[in-house]
Amino acid sequence: MSEAVRGNAVVGQSGGPTAVINQSLVGVIEAVSKCRAIKHLLGARHGVRGIVQEDFIDLKGLGRGLLERVAGTPASALGSTRDKPDEAYCKRIFKVFARNDVRYFFYIGGNDSADTARIVNEMAAAASHELRVFHIPKTIDNDLCVTDHCPGYGSAARFVASAFVGDDRDSASLPGIKINVVMGRHAGWLTAASALGRTDRKDGPHLVYLPEVPFSTARFLEDVGRIFARLGRCQIAVSEGIADRRGKPVAQVLAEKLGIELERDSHGNVQLSGSGALGDFLADYVKAELGRKYKSLRVRADTFGYLQRSFAGCASPVDAAEARQCGRKAVEYAMAGDLDGSVAIRRAKGSTYRASYFRARLRDVAGGTKPLPRGYINKAGNGVTAAFAKYALPLTGKLPVIGKLG
């Protein structure tokens, strides 16, 4: 078997974009441009959807200047998709690959994308069509298995930490209770990043609520009341994914407590995502309960929304460089033999942060998600530990430095 089979390559991007997902794309383009074995590099528009529709852009021969601008641009330059291919969909993908002599497939995405890559790969093997499939990780949620961390997380964490640092000063200027809702439906990695800019015990966030810990409204109210009594203010980080002991979304729990009728879609499901409902309900609840004790209590909520993954001009330099390298590594691994897998990051032991890369098996990455480990959550379940900060700070780059008076 030749070390590098001749043919074409396809690259695509999938799922929720990140601030550095185009770094990985440009990493692939750069590395492929040095590969004689690859004739055409086809960029699939909107991920797998572009593949089955054969909606491709030729990515070879693009100028250095344009590539660098693309690399620095948030969100998926090729377009993304929410399609999660089943077997039949994967079959259509494979047919397009076979027809277009595609021998390399680089798919930048989360664990669903790794799973798509795995299925297509198995089909190729069954049909004896040599195909080298590489998943390139990206997700602001940082919840992929095997890898130490995911490209995209560092930049989103940097945004969230910077937002909390500034908002904490704002909330200290005009004291009250401030609630900020952070993305991350199933894992608390990004919400935990809210605490990375803290420099002393008076700094917010004073409370951090994660999807890994069942949420109790009674406990929440007690926490907030205690902090407010001590500091005269309280800044709170809340994951959009918090749910009670039985898995019921907190927005729904609170709507019932507040006597608010929630809209339901045609399937009878309450629409909670992509809205300010959780933050607004938490604020209303705190105001209703603590407002009895404290007259004219100032309670505000912000839902950070899509800015967390797309804000332009705030990417973490470490994250950007690693995302680029993951793209290059995928091509390097694919050239090394009849291999497939997912690019993963290993962190060197020791006090200085250093990353290296290795090839993980697709099925190990496709299989699941990685919640925030218990050791990164404080005992009370309402904050993060120093071990988490040690883990995450090297990924965000230097955070804003704060000066205070009196």
When asked if residue 285 is in the footprint of its own copies (CB under 8 A), the reply is no
When asked if residue 74 is in the footprint of its own copies (CB under 8 A), the reply is yes
When asked if residue 191 is in the footprint of its own copies (CB under 8 A), the reply is no
Of 76, 116, 252, 342, the residue at the interface with its own copies (CB under 8 A) is 76
Three-class SS of the chain: CCCCCCEEEEEEECCCCCCCHHHHHHHHHHHHCCCCCEEEEEEECCHHHHHHCCCEEECCCCCHHHHHHHHCCCCCCCCCCCCCCCHHHHHHHHHHHHHCCEEEEEEEECHHHHHHHHHHHHHHHHCCCCCEEEEEECCCCCCECCCCCCCCHHHHHHHHHHHHHHHHHHHHHCCCEEEEEECCCCCCHHHHHHHCCCCCCCCCCCEEECCCCCCCHHHHHHHHHHHHHHHCCEEEEEECCCECCCCCEHHHHHHHHHCCCCCECCCCCECCCCCCHHHHHHHHHHHHHHCCCCCCCCEEEEECCCHHHHCCCCCCHHHHHHHHHHHHHHHHHHHCCCCCEEEEEEECCCCCCCEEEEEECHHHHHCCECCCCHHHECCCCCCECHHHHHHHHHHHCCCCCCCCCC
User: With contact defined as beta carbons under 8 Å apart, do 119 and 21 qualify?
Assistant: no
When asked if residue 405 is in the footprint of its own copies (CB under 8 A), the reply is yes
Give me the 18-37 binding string for its own copies, x by CB under 8 A, dash otherwise: -x--x---------------
Of residues 100-129, those binding its own copies (CB under 8 A): none
Instruction: Give the interface segment with its own copies, choosing from 61-69, 128-136, 327-335, 380-388 (CB under 8 A).
Output: 61-69
| Least distance (Å) between residue 26 CB and its own copies | 9
Of 59, 210, 234, 334, the residue at the interface with its own copies (CB under 8 A) is 59
Of 34, 39, 82, 264, the residue at the interface with its own copies (CB under 8 A) is 82
When asked if residue 316 is in the footprint of its own copies (CB under 8 A), the reply is no
When asked if residue 327 is in the footprint of its own copies (CB under 8 A), the reply is no
Amino acid at 15: G
Of 64, 246, 263, 295, the residue at the interface with its own copies (CB under 8 A) is 263
Residue nearer to its own copies on the CB measure, 123 or 254: 254
Catalytic residue among 141, 143, 168, 203: 141
When asked if residue 264 is in the footprint of its own copies (CB under 8 A), the reply is no
Residue nearer to its own copies on the CB measure, 283 or 331: 283
When asked if residue 328 is in the footprint of its own copies (CB under 8 A), the reply is no
When asked if residue 284 is in the footprint of its own copies (CB under 8 A), the reply is yes
Instruction: Give the interface segment with its own copies, choosing from 167-175, 184-192, 362-370, 380-388 (CB under 8 A).
Output: 167-175
Residue nearer to its own copies on the CB measure, 7 or 50: 50
Is residue 168 among the annotated active site residues?
no
Instruction: Give the interface segment with its own copies, choosing from 116-124, 183-191, 272-280, 317-325 (CB under 8 A).
Output: 272-280
Of 307, 347, 378, 389, the residue at the interface with its own copies (CB under 8 A) is 307
Lookup result for tokens 């930048």: 108
Phi, psi of 292 (to 5 degrees): -65, -35
Number of shown-chain residues binding its own copies (CB under 8 A): 73
When asked if residue 277 is in the footprint of its own copies (CB under 8 A), the reply is yes
Pairwise CA distance, residues 202 & 205, whole Å: 9
Phi, psi of 85 (to 5 degrees): -60, 135
When asked if residue 154 is in the footprint of its own copies (CB under 8 A), the reply is no
Residue nearer to its own copies on the CB measure, 213 or 320: 320
When asked if residue 269 is in the footprint of its own copies (CB under 8 A), the reply is no
When asked if residue 166 is in the footprint of its own copies (CB under 8 A), the reply is yes
Q: Which residues are catalytic?
A: 141
